[in-house]
Amino acid sequence: FTADELQRTKFPSRVSDDLDLDPCKSDLVMGDIAMSRETYRRRSRQAKTGTGFTLTDRGPRFHRQRRRHRHRERAGKNRRRTRAATARPERLWDHAVIPYEIEANFSGDHRALFKQAMRHWENHTCIKFVERGFEHQHYIVFTERPCGCCSFVGKRGNGAQAISIGKNCDKFGIVVHELGHVVGFWHEHTRPDRDAHVDIVNKNIMTGQEYNFNKLTDEEVNSLGLAYDFESIMHYARNTFSKNTHLDTILPQEDNASKRRPEIGQRVRLSQGDISQTNKLYKCPSCGRTLLEPNGLVSSPELVNSVTPPAEGEHCEWRITATHGERIVLNVTELDIYESDNCETDYIEVRDGYWHKSPLLGRYCGTGRIPEMLLSTGYRLLIVYRTSSNQNGHIGFRAYYEAVCGGDVDQEEGVLQSPNYPDDYRPNKECVWKITVPVNYQVALKFQSFEVENHDNCVYDYLEVRDGHDAGSPLLGKFCGYRTPDDQRSSSNKMLVKFVSDSSVNKPGFSATFMKEYDECQKPDHGCDHECVNTLGGYRCECNIGYELHSDGKKCEDACGGVIEASNGTITSPSFPDLYPSNKNCIWEIVASPQYRITLNFTHFDLEGNNQDCEYDKVDIHSKMGDNTVRKHGLFCGSYLPPIITSEGNSLRIEFSSDNSVQKSGFAAVFLTDKDECAHSNGGCQHICKNTVGSYSCACQNGFVLHPNRHDCKEGTCTHQISAPLGEINSPNYPDSYPSRKDCAWLFTTTPGHRLKLIFNDFELEPHQECAYDHISLYDGDSTDAPTLGRFCGAKVPHPILSTTNRMYMVFKSDASVQRKGFRAAHSTACGGRLLATGRTVEHLYSHAKYGDQNYENKEDCDWLVEAEAGRVRLRFLTFELEHEQDCSYDYVELFDGYDDSAMPLGKFCGNQLPGEFTSSSGSLLLRFRSDDNINAKGFSAAYSAVDVGEDSATAAVPSVPEVRTVSSSHQRDRKLRLHRH
């Protein structure tokens, strides 16, 4: 892009779709639970209203600020007896199906461990963990992040979401525990009713970890009607986050019967309470189960228990799960089900997969009509048994199933596993798979894990791979032992894979993926700019030296970074305006001629993070000085444009870095070099030389004014009018001694509705008990006629000075003798305060001091008490634009008809609709403005005055009940800063 294109074009902001792939970046972590901002805010509101304990932010290592889409949550109307299960239905996984992926960096042992943990959940509940397919929009990803073991509670609903299994977390019980969070469970000890069952010993908790023991509220957890579960795998241990392992942080209360304290914190298995809780939460059928055995019987409850079916009928599900590479044979041996039309009401239904949308293999009813043997195409089979009241007198059905391995496999890709994987394979098994992929392709086989009984010649247990379908086809390899075999590839579209086990010594076996393979690089449409490299099951693009791969994975672009010696030009993040790549680090060093300076202007800026932390993606800018020292200009991230930056020397260093998740559109900047006229003889200036783009200017020290020749300085008057929202002032000639016989004045003015604050950072005047000699005097208004705020001298620093109005006047006087260093002070603004409404004029107030120039800041906390000189207060909003939220819980304005918030509320407002006009019922009105810690908008302005008690105020009627008004707003400022030569 040219400089002109960058300054004329408005590029859209973009963000990658992996917001929940790094739990470490969540807004908060409670133990191993990652929380989104919506949960954090809701809990913060609950804490303020007394419905729960305060949930504190994480320490610096984990605390994050991120903008997220937020939804409105409402608590139930009635308080409930609670278990620590999510109360939010949108957090439950649809149909109890949890799709998953496992990142490629995990070893075969880790993959086996994860699958064992998932099978443990499946074995006891109706939860179904399935490999993620294209049809699955929301799914979990097993990953390893710096936060160690952590995950979100329930389904996030933003696509992929991470379950992080870090080092020392790769234990069966811990993975089962983390999956419990994924399913939708909080920690058991955070239930609202936990104080009736356990005691929290706060003095023993590690400093900074207290928030892990906060209670949840009824808004977060569901009732389910189950008792507190000391044995839950979701319960903390007695010494979790303890200052010392022998000190208790959670102490179970004694059982009334046994007088013993229950054990807590087991990480071995799901408790019976965990199982019951899950089945209730997901409304699992009351009969049936998940079957993981290689064979077995399936019978209706009437046959098993010889009982009369319930009057309302039965609903049972059996979920049969084998291993990849196996299929399931089902033989129905008995059938006695009430025969309805088309088997609509009473039936046994068999589906070729894991859920109700899987292909139907058959639906059966009637008596004695035994269906033929059914065979699944994959490794899962679902049996559904439904009856009505008509079933009375019938005995149901009985069926036998068996998992069989091997067979013809006509698929483009899939998975093969030894029987019973990841547990030990069974003895005396022989499985032969004949894989066929489309013509003109090869078959590729890639192993994830491999552990088969070892022998030098593989004569006991082994895996055999052949280049074709026949037993006599060329042998590609015969494998056993513990070394993962290399990738295998056939010469045609056929491959034979044979697994054999003998009668002794069983091992976990193998897991492998197969896929169709061909050399994509031979086709002209591979899309690579430079080099195409064929890989197993795919290909990748590479770039020539001096270039790097675009974030689209195909185009090549100039490598980022490098030394730039041009007098002007542009810099953009890699792949701009598309998403920049992850894990990128680029360093540009712009070098100008000696005595020249570099000015950098950002025209687009959109990086992950915020302007406070910049912990993820960032731009770091330094000036490089002649003595090889550097001076930092700033660290930038987020979506606000950095200020225009001018180097302090002739070299400017710009470093961009991104982490491994959440990419955005990046940045673009233009730069130019300009001669620093101040570098030689101070530019001819007597006091201060200020370099500007294309020119320079002279300035004088405090107490002096510029001579008409624009270079020299002469002593001037000492009167100052200051309207900037913040800045510094100092005595004449500071830090040298101030002159004698000096009389100076400062008039500070800020935005109406705001006050002025003055903080002295250095103070040294001639001392006197009554400050009769050298002194400063401050007044609460625009002249010495206003009420005095103080008179100060000597060496004691005055206390901070705060005005009550938007004007403050300060006077400094020195006599003929004894001069000292003087003073230095910082002035700023403070919102809120008392405002006087008169009937003579209409006054104004604004949400923040920089209204009209910038959005309001985070965490504004302002109260204005408007009092009528006589009569009542009338207030009318002129402009209004705050962050939108349906309940106005984030940023809002609130009005009260009186002196404080105990008065009748007149309304709570957010969004961008004008609230209108209000008249108080007495002589005062309280206006409150609050903002949270992100997403800001333009703010508001209002006019107020006093009205007579008898004046008609029909147009300003006070609402009879508090109202909340919100309208969605999308405020965006467009800043275009251009660089011009003079």
Q: What is the pLDDT of residues 97-143, one digit of tens each?
A: 999 999 988 888 899 999 999 999 999 999 999 999 888 999 999 99
User: In 325-395, where do the E strands start and end?
Assistant: 326-337, 347-351, 360-364, 366-367, 374-375, 380-386
Picking from 345, 341, 329, 415, the residue whose alpha carbon sits closest to that of residue 132 is 415
Global model pTM greater than 0.75? no
Tokens for 905, please give them: 């509320």
Asked whether the predicted pLDDT for residue 950 surpasses 80, the reply is: no
Asked whether the predicted pLDDT for residue 37 surpasses 60, the reply is: no
Contact 725, 696 (CB under 8 A): no
The answer to whether residue 963 is catalytic is no
Of the two residues 977 and 952, the one the predictor is more confident about is 952
Strand 430-436 to 494-500 pairing: antiparallel
Contact 424, 478 (CB under 8 A): no
* 181 appears as a binding residue in the annotation: yes
For the stretch 718-745, pLDDT in tens is 888 898 888 999 998 888 999 998 899 9
For the stretch 862-895, pLDDT in tens is 999 999 988 999 999 999 999 988 889 889 999 9
Strand 221-222 to 85-86 pairing: antiparallel
In whole angstroms, give the CA distance from residue 279 to residue 256.
Answer: 29
Contacts of 938 (CB under 8 A, 6+ apart): 851, 855, 856, 879, 881, 971
For the stretch 204-224, pLDDT in tens is 999 888 888 988 877 777 757
Given 178, 219, 608, 648, the catalytic residue: 178
End-to-end CA distance of the chain: 24
In whole angstroms, give the CA distance from residue 813 to residue 768.
Answer: 13
What pLDDT, on the 0 to 100 scale, is given for residue 953?
45
The C-alpha torsion from 278 through 283 and 286 to 290, rounded to 10°, is: -60
Asked whether the predicted pLDDT for residue 341 surpasses 60, the reply is: yes
DSSP state of 486: P
pLDDT band at 80 (very low <50, low <70, confident <90, very high): very low
Picking from 660, 606, 658, 664, the residue whose alpha carbon sits closest to that of residue 637 is 606
Spell out the domains of the chain, with CATH numbers in brackets: 23-279 (3.40.390.10), 285-405 (2.60.120.290), 407-517 (2.60.120.290), 530-559 (2.10.25.10), 560-675 (2.60.120.290), 678-716 (2.10.25.10), 718-830 (2.60.120.290), 832-965 (2.60.120.290)
* 980 appears as a binding residue in the annotation: no
What pLDDT, on the 0 to 100 scale, is given for residue 801?
95
* 827 appears as a binding residue in the annotation: no
Q: How many CB atoms lie within 10 A of CB 320?
A: 25
- SS3 per-residue string spanning 52-87: CCCCCCCCCCCCCCCCCCCCCCCCCCCCCCCCCEEC
pLDDT band at 45 (very low <50, low <70, confident <90, very high): very low
Give me the mean pLDDT over the 566-584 stretch. 92
Asked whether the predicted pLDDT for residue 191 surpasses 70, the reply is: yes
In whole angstroms, give the CA distance from residue 711 to residue 335.
Answer: 107
Give the sheet arrangement for strand 568-572, strand by strand.
568-572, 666-675, 596-606, 645-646
What pLDDT, on the 0 to 100 scale, is given for residue 305?
66
What pLDDT, on the 0 to 100 scale, is given for residue 962?
37
Please state, for a pLDDT cut of 90, what percent of the chain lies above it. 57
Question: Could you please report the per-residue DSSP string of 703-723?
Answer: TEEE-TTSS-EEE---EEEE-
Asked whether the predicted pLDDT for residue 348 surpasses 90, the reply is: yes
pLDDT band at 74 (very low <50, low <70, confident <90, very high): very low
Phi/psi at 521 (5° precision): -70, -15
pLDDT averaged over every residue in the chain: 86
What pLDDT, on the 0 to 100 scale, is given for residue 768?
93
Picking from 906, 807, 933, the residue whose alpha carbon sits closest to that of residue 57 is 933
What pLDDT, on the 0 to 100 scale, is given for residue 307?
64
For the stretch 251-262, pLDDT in tens is 999 988 888 999
In whole angstroms, give the CA distance from residue 147 to residue 495.
Answer: 43
Tokens for 731, please give them: 């005595």
Asked whether the predicted pLDDT for residue 7 surpasses 90, the reply is: no
Contact 512, 464 (CB under 8 A): no
Tokens for 34, please give them: 């990652």
Asked whether the predicted pLDDT for residue 954 surpasses 50, the reply is: no
CA angle 27, 31, 36 (to 5 degrees): 25
Of the two residues 828 and 961, the one the predictor is more confident about is 828
What pLDDT, on the 0 to 100 scale, is given for residue 12?
83
What pLDDT, on the 0 to 100 scale, is given for residue 57?
36
For the stretch 688-717, pLDDT in tens is 998 887 788 999 876 678 888 999 988 777
Contact 879, 938 (CB under 8 A): yes
In whole angstroms, give the CA distance from residue 887 to residue 45.
Answer: 12
What is the distance of C-alpha 577 from the center of its chain? 23
Contact 948, 892 (CB under 8 A): no
What pLDDT, on the 0 to 100 scale, is given for residue 27?
62
For the stretch 285-340, pLDDT in tens is 989 999 999 999 999 987 766 666 677 788 999 999 999 999 999 999 999 999 99
For the stretch 581-613, pLDDT in tens is 988 999 999 999 888 899 999 999 999 886 566
Contacts of 595 (CB under 8 A, 6+ apart): 650, 675, 676, 679, 680
CA angle 305, 311, 317 (to 5 degrees): 55
Q: How many CB atoms lie within 10 A of CB 785?
A: 8
What pLDDT, on the 0 to 100 scale, is given for residue 39?
58
Gyration radius from the chain CA atoms: 37
What pLDDT, on the 0 to 100 scale, is given for residue 76?
33
Top mean pLDDT of 77-86, 115-124, 748-757 is at: 115-124
